[in-house]
Every structure is written in structure tokens, then in C-alpha cells.
Amino acid sequence: MMKWSVRMLLVMLCCWCSAVFATQRIDSVRMSKAPDFTRLVFDLQGPLEHTVDKLSNPDRIVVDLSGASLEFNFATLDLGNTPIREIRTGQHAADKVRVVLDLHSAQRPKTIMLPPADDNGWRLVVDLLNDLDPESDKVATTAPAPVVMGETRPSGRPMIVAIDPGHGGQDPGAIGPSGTREKDVVLQISRRLADHINKQPGMRAVLIRTGDYYVPLADRRRIAADKHNADVFLSVHADAFTDSRAHGASIFALSHRGSTSAKASYLARIANDSDRVAGVYQEERENNSLLNVLADMTTSGSLAHSMVLGRMMLEEMGQVVKLHGDRTKVEQAGFAVLKEPSMVSLLVETGFISNRTEEKNLRSSAHQEKMVKAIVNGLNKYFEMHPQPETWYAEQRRKGGGSRPATHQIASGETLSSIARRYSVSENSLREHNKLRGDSIRAGQVLKIPPG
């Protein structure tokens, strides 16, 4: 009997010691805010069992953390502009912490346990989702240029350019030698770009994010295509590379044959890792077949037109900033954010933030102005040469655009019939106007467009 009691005591002691040593001390909790959710991130030493309950009357979320002790003061968090009215905590057992989020209004909770990534250890992410349109009117950005008294509003719809500042929120992007964060500088450049676009009579800009919060990669494309019906999607980034001597701006399109260079492959891996760094849920990631997306893009011509627009933008940018390798070639790689068949889509790398000189330039207002003006010049040139039906640019072409004849530079994959449909003219009139004997045309060839 004595031996049995001793054994039981030893077993209980071992269990108690295991529980004590397994208890995690939580002394760091971070909060971030976005238009569609509020996020709490618990920094951990290892994985942690947890449960989440949604309660009403009053609305609150209860998070129970097993094997933990809480040493963080939630009063240090700024709850302004969040659905959280108050945060209460309690130690319900030696190894169980309860966190109660008292809410102003009902929210849908979602959690995920994230393994270590980059400089982050284990993290428990708790999101409060308001289940509203994630890009409500807060996302629509700079207003279109105002109409001055006495002027008439231009006829024809504007071309919609969706501008996507890369990274944001929990994902800072690359960080320069002086501490400049990519997410901050690309937001500044994107805002300038939107301002300049909205000063053009035939364009209008929308920003995918307007503040320091993260938008998942697939959502960025969907917001541009589904909410704003964008014609063009530009994702704005700042390069980083292991060699600090690397420098110059570049432009990328989606690839259907793998990456065109080692640098393109490297940058695509970094960009595509944003969801993981920001803590986006695995089940929300894109699972569409790349081959299907590329087939749709080829059919619609958006991939070919992406290459044409990219070349025109690079030509303009090369006049005011250094290009990577002094090349006006659009590179290609499997960037997840570009997988949207309905839009002309490009990723613009504005320079190498890992290069000390270019980091300084990227922070410069004068440098940013030069770059965005060049991008707008490239857009304007492309829209003039490839006007969409019923747009301001199509109206200008229909009116003759002065003495200059209307022309169209043929992109790879285009046919005579697709060009005729684009400009609402007959194939026969295209042939006659250009003295063509058949339907044979080639990429790069310039056709004269007959009057409508």
C-alpha cells in the first residue's frame, strides 16, 4: 500500500511539473485595424491550444488559452475605431487564461495558429470580421478631377486603373538599410500615382488599400475586377535583393513558361509569400489552376496587352529613372497577384529598397513625382493606341484626334476580327483601309482604323 501511494505521488508530481513547465508566458499582444476586420496577434513561444466562443446579449468574444499565463496589459492597446469596447482578462485555472472582448456590435471571430516565419515566432491570430464588403467606400480613393465651371464633362467612360500598394499591415515588405519599409513607400507612390491619374480626362484611379492594413493577394485582384471593373491593375512594389548593389526599376507580367530570370523567380517567391507573413488563412488562399488562368488571359488578350503596356511604361520610366539592367524588357514570373484574366495586369518594381542610394530616392518626393508621371505617360500612350469601345479614348479617336489618323499597334495573339470588334468597324473596312489582301497580320504591325 505504501509503495502504491509513493508511485501515485510520483506520477502526480510529474504531471504537475509537466503542466508547470508547459505553461507559456504571454507578454506580447499586437493589434491592427483594416476596413473589414480587426486583428489581435498573440506572440507565443510555441503552439497553444485555444477555443473561441461568440456570445450575444451583450455581444462579446471569449478566447480561452490553455497552458498559458498572461502578463500583457491590454490597456496599452488603442481600441479606437475598432468594434472592441473593452478587453477583460482572467486566470481561470493555473494554466488557463480567458480573454473577453466586449464589442460595440456583433463580429464573426476567426483564429489560426501560425508557425514561425522570418523574424516572428509562433503566433495566435484572432480576427474579428464584420462581414461587410471588405472594400467599402473607404477604399475608393482620390476623387476624379473636378469639372471647372463652364467646361463640359468629357464624353465616354474613363479607363479604370486599380493601383495596389504591395504588402501592408503585418507584412512590412522589404526593409532598406536605413529602416525604410516597403509597405510605407509604395503607399506614398501609389497615392501620388492615383492623384496624377485622376487629373487625366480619360482615366480614373482606385486604390486597393489606403492605409496600413493587409489585403490578401486574391482579394486584391477580386476587388479590382469585381468591385471596380478595372481595365488595368498595377501592383506597386520596391525590390530587395541579397546583393545591395542591385539597382533599377522594372516591370513584370504573369508568366506561362516559368520565370524569365533568376531575379524574377526570386521576387515572385517573396511577393507570393505575403499572405503567409501577414497571417492569411490557408483555406482562403488561391487554388485556381495557373494553366486555366493563363488560358483565359490568352483568350481575352489581357496577357498580350499586359506585355504591350509594360513596354510602353518602361520606355517612359527609362527616361527619368534607372532601369534594372538598362533593359526595357518586361520580365515574367508566377506572381499570384496578377492572376486575373479580365484585366491587363502588371507588377511595377519602383527600385531596389535594399540599395542605399535607391532607398533614399524612393523616399524623395521629387523622385516619386518623376516616376509616377512617367507611368501615367505610359498609360496614356497605351490607351491612345488601344482604346476600349465607349471610352473617352475611343471618343477622341472617333472624332479624329485632329489631323493624326487613328492607329492600332497589333499585340501578340490579336486577330483582324478581334481588332474590328474592338473599334466597332467591319473586317472589310479594316482590310480596305490598310490595303490588306487577307487576314494575315503580325505583332507590332500598325493598322489605320477607319472612321466610325
Q: Are 245 and 199 in contact (CB under 8 A)?
A: no
Q: In terms of residue numbers, what domain contains 45?
A: 19-129
Q: How far apart are CA 273 and CA 271, in angstroms?
A: 5
Helix H or strand E encompassing 18? helix 2-22
The reply to whether 376 and 263 lie within a common domain is yes
The reply to whether 192 and 322 lie within a common domain is yes
Q: What is the three-state SS of 210-255?
A: CCCCCCCHHHHHHHHHHHCCCCEEEEEEEECCCCCCCCCEEEEEEC
Contacts of 428 (CB under 8 A, 6+ apart): none
CA distances from residue 9 to 4, 17, 185 in whole angstroms, order as listed: 9, 12, 62
Q: How far apart are CA 260 and CA 240, in angstroms?
A: 18
Contacts of 86 (CB under 8 A, 6+ apart): 79, 102
Q: How far apart are CA 52 and CA 209, in angstroms?
A: 29
The reply to whether 434 and 310 lie within a common domain is no
Asked if the bond preceding 58 is cis, omega within 30° of 0, the reply is yes
The reply to whether 238 and 301 lie within a common domain is yes
Cell for 356?
Answer: 542605399
CATH of the domain at 296: 3.40.630.40
Q: Are 277 and 217 in contact (CB under 8 A)?
A: no
9 within domain boundaries: no
Question: How many CB atoms lie under 10 A from the CB of residue 340?
Answer: 23
Q: How far apart are CA 55 and CA 38, in angstroms?
A: 18
CATH of the domain at 422: 3.10.350.10
Measured in whole angstroms, the distance separating CA 185 from the mean position of its chain's CA atoms is 14
Q: How far apart are CA 173 and CA 178, in angstroms?
A: 14
The reply to whether 260 and 165 lie within a common domain is yes
Amino acid at 254: L
Question: How many CB atoms lie under 10 A from the CB of residue 402?
Answer: 7
394 within domain boundaries: no
Q: How far apart are CA 54 and CA 427, in angstroms?
A: 62
In the chain (452 residues long), the average pLDDT of successive 10-residue segments reads: 51 45 80 84 89 91 91 90 92 84 92 78 87 42 43 73 93 94 96 95 94 88 91 94 89 79 75 74 48 54 86 92 84 85 92 95 95 94 88 82 60 78 79 89 85 62
Give the pLDDT score at 152: 47
Total number of domains in the chain: 3
The reply to whether 111 and 258 lie within a common domain is no
The reply to whether 234 and 94 lie within a common domain is no
Taking CB atoms within 8 Å and a gap of at least 24, the contacts of 194-200 are 194/141, 194/142, 194/163, 195/142, 196/372, 196/373, 196/376, 197/161, 197/163, 197/376, 197/379, 198/142, 198/143, 198/144, 198/145, 199/145, 200/145, 200/376, 200/380
The reply to whether 289 and 194 lie within a common domain is yes
148 within domain boundaries: no
The reply to whether 379 and 406 lie within a common domain is no
191 within domain boundaries: yes
14 within domain boundaries: no
Contacts of 229 (CB under 8 A, 6+ apart): 160
Q: How far apart are CA 373 and CA 313, in angstroms?
A: 10
Give the pLDDT score at 377: 93
